[in-house]
Amino acid sequence: MKSSYLRAGAALACALALSACGGSDGDLGLGGSFSGVTKPGLVLQNNGGSDLTVAPTATGSGTFFFSQLLETDSDYNVTVKGKPSNTEKCEAFRNTGKVAFTITTVAIVCTIKTHALTGTVSGLTGNNLVLVNGADRVPVAAGATTFAMARVNEDAPYGVAILTQPDNQTCTVANGSGVTGANDIANVAVTCVNRT
């Protein structure tokens, strides 16, 4: 009999003070992950408010959490209010629903702007010239006067170099390295001369 009184007392305590039983309103977190954020400017909102400024990271990826806790069964709708200047767009995924437990699955994916990396070639008569920029390798045919590497992310470093010299020639690169700005890169110059 005594134990049933204790159970009833515990139930009453839960009803009067839900926080003591772990079921209180306003105790559930809302967050997730982000990618493509290498510069400041990403601002998220939940339900049109609670602005959250997300700091960039060196890798562009990380996690975020809103400081305001949510009530059980409340709706959430995470949207992008502002995006970094070097991104084309930032999209939210798995960003709506009802809160039944702490949410960690919202995903913010930002697409970084890319720019062309091209240049000129002069004096190339030999075969087998190969240019490289990071993991990107581009063969350049004999007689070519231009080349194009894979597009590069804005604000990312680049470095065009000679991976393989052409037959019977030596080529050098001018203006081959730097940091990608807001415009295409078109001033890389490859000059080839015959070996003596």
Looking up residue 131, the CATH number of its domain turns out to be 2.60.40
Q: Is residue 2 part of a domain?
A: no
Q: Are residues 149 and 174 in the same domain?
A: yes
Look at residue 26 in the predicted model and tell me its pLDDT: 76
Q: Are residues 124 and 101 in the same domain?
A: no
Q: Are residues 123 and 190 in the same domain?
A: yes
d(CA 102, CA 167): 63
Q: Are residues 103 and 33 in the same domain?
A: yes
Q: Are residues 62 and 28 in the same domain?
A: yes
Over residues 51-80, the pLDDT tens digits come to 999 999 999 999 999 999 999 999 999 999
Look at residue 196 in the predicted model and tell me its pLDDT: 82
Q: Integer distance in angstroms from the first to the last C-alpha of the chain?
A: 107
Q: Is residue 5 part of a domain?
A: no
Give DSSP secondary structure letters for 101-142: S-EEEEEEEEEE-EEEEEEEEES--SS-EEEEETTEEEEE-T
Give the structural domain span for 122. Answer: 114-194
Q: Is residue 10 part of a domain?
A: no
Q: Is residue 18 part of a domain?
A: no
Considering its fold, how many domains does the chain have in total?
2
Q: Is residue 79 part of a domain?
A: yes
Average of pLDDT values for 89-108?
97
Domain boundary among 112, 127, 159: 112
Please determine, for residue 83, whether its predicted confidence score (pLDDT) is greater than 80.
yes
Q: What is the rounded average pLDDT for all residues in the chain?
A: 90
Q: Is residue 12 part of a domain?
A: no
- pTM for the full model? 0.75
Q: What percent of the chain has pLDDT over 70?
A: 87
Over residues 127-179, the pLDDT tens digits come to 999 999 999 999 999 999 999 999 999 999 999 999 999 999 999 999 999 99
